[in-house]
Structure 1
Amino acid sequence: MTISTDTGTAPRVALVTGGSGGIGAAVVERLAADGFAVAVHYAGSRDKAEDVARAARDAGATALVVGADVADEDAVATMFDAVERELGGVDVLVHSAGIMLLSPLAELDLDDFDRMHRTNVRGTFVVAKEAVKRLRSGGAIINFSSTVVKLALPTYAAYAATKGAVDAMTMILAKELRGRDITVNAIAPGPTATPLFLDGKPQEAIDRLAAMPPLERLGVPTDIADAVAFLAGRARWVNGQVLYVNGGIA
């Protein structure tokens, strides 16, 4: 295990779910650059997670790859066991794993609704439940919400409903951890150029969404990773909040 040369102590440890690609991969890169040892979680693509971990190691960080179905209690517990065994503990949980399936409400297949609920809602609940048992004092739980909760865009009803549930869990859990010195917040990205966001969208729709922020562009994963790094680092007086990272969309 890598030892920090400037303090002589082991680095803080961050577990990033959904760390194998998109925003999660950018978060791993940023936290590794900030001196964290990182555990890169994947659900379906170990090869991609290995690539992300290898890049973190090449930059001088300690990195571990872990796989789990985030909605499976036993698998999540095993994942935390592996991180504690290999990296010594967990200080920060960044729960970015999620899926997005879009459709007008009246046309949505209920199997798709159930899939999103299982990953986005149950998954957030299960991972947070395990993190509460494991995180060390001074730690942080950072969930992922979405700006679409307040934008109320057509075709996003089911997805936004799952992220509204994340908001509620985040704010309540922050209060339930009174006295633990663990912050609980959520990041709510705006339109961000990731495969999850871009998949299946016509260029006209992408251009329209890019024009919504006053900054007149889509976000990029590093924009979101910067906000995660803020909450994972010295932002100890930010707690129980949903932080909108969306370029100024009202």
Structure 2
Amino acid sequence: MARIIVAGGFGILGQAVAKRLAASGHAVAVIDMANAPAGYDGIAQSGVDLADEGAVASAYADVVGRLGGLDGVVNVAGGFAWETVADGSLDTWDRMYRINLRTTVTSCRVALAHLGKGGAIVNVGAAAAARADAGMGAYAASKAGVATLTQALAAENADRAIRVNAVLPTTLDTPANRKDMPDADFSTWVSPNAAADAIAFLLSDAARAVTGEGVRLSLGG
């Protein structure tokens, strides 16, 4: 049994990840700005600004103590905005940086103080980081930062045998995305459960030889 924190775990993907890990027998704690959904009775810290290192450090100290240690971290927090570079706002670039990249950096920095040899971190990036379509500049740039952060952290922590990888999904099949893109072919989108399975694999001992990788997720399921 591993002890795992899911940062940003009360969104659609985060809940799928936490449920998948718990079903495999792992001890799971969730840290998020959002409140826990109705009926949630697991270890959690709500109201945590994941871009604030002090707040994240305090939340980690609490939940790691309740877990009895830490073996893995999944960084799920993030958001999306569509606007062109010319017609958009620089504030959007700052916001995408804060919620997609700074939250991940902050969680990783704090996690490294708790993870021991054999620990694992999985970050959630995006396939758009490799090639952005129109209107996705700010979002894709922030997610590209997640991908390169993952590579740097993997190299920096190889001597500690701490693995750092990322999943890079294409469009996730969520209610919000269906509402925003009602004419899309949903069958080609990545389901949260499929993404959760990939994340669970990267946390597992079966992926012990994998680090510094960005795994593209592009099938439904």
CA contact (8 A) 1:83 1:90 kept: no
- Tell me which residue corresponds to 1:92: 72
Query: For 1:15, which of 2, 5, 9 is the aligned residue?
Result: 5
- Tell me which residue corresponds to 1:30: 20
- In 2 relative to 1, CA 196–168 (structure 1 residues): closer, same or farther, beyond 3 Å? farther
CA contact (8 A) 1:96 1:143 kept: yes
Alignment of 1:71-110 (within 5 A): 71-110=51-90
Residue 201 of structure 2 is aligned to residue 221 of structure 1? no
Query: For 1:203, which of 182, 186, 190 is the aligned residue?
Result: 182
Query: For 2:45, which of 66, 72, 97 is the aligned residue?
Result: 66
- In 2 relative to 1, CA 202–174 (structure 1 residues): closer, same or farther, beyond 3 Å? closer
Residue 84 of structure 2 is aligned to residue 112 of structure 1? no
Structure 2 residue identity aligned to 1:108: G
Residue 210 of structure 2 is aligned to residue 238 of structure 1? yes
TM-score when scaled to structure 2? 0.93
Please say which of residues 30-39 and 190-199 is displaced more in the overlay. 190-199
CA contact (8 A) 1:99 1:196 kept: no
CA contact (8 A) 2:150 2:212 kept: yes
TM-score when scaled to structure 1? 0.82
Q: Shift of residue 230 of structure 1?
A: 0.4
Q: What is the RMSD of the two structures over their aligned residues, measured on CA atoms?
A: 1.6
CA contact (8 A) 1:12 1:91 kept: yes
- Tell me which residue corresponds to 1:158: 138
Q: Shift of residue 151 of structure 1?
A: 3.5
CA contact (8 A) 2:7 2:107 kept: no
What is the percentage of aligned positions where both structures have the same residue?
37
Structure 2 residue runs without a partner (length 5+):
none
Dislocated runs of 4+, deviation >4 Å: none
Residue 96 of structure 2 is aligned to residue 129 of structure 1? no
Q: Shift of residue 136 of structure 1?
A: 2.3
Cα shift readout 1:170-215 (whole Å, capped 9, x = no counterpart): 001101002211100001011111245335x2422x23xx4xxxxx
Q: Shift of residue 83 of structure 1?
A: 1.3
Cα shift readout 1:137-171 (whole Å, capped 9, x = no counterpart): 21101011101112421111110000001111100
Q: Could you say what secondary structure the match of 1:38 adopts?
A: strand
Q: Shift of residue 79 of structure 1?
A: 1.0
CA contact (8 A) 2:127 2:169 kept: yes
Structure 1 residue runs without a partner (length 5+):
1-10, 55-62, 211-215
Q: Could you say what secondary structure the match of 2:130 adopts?
A: helix
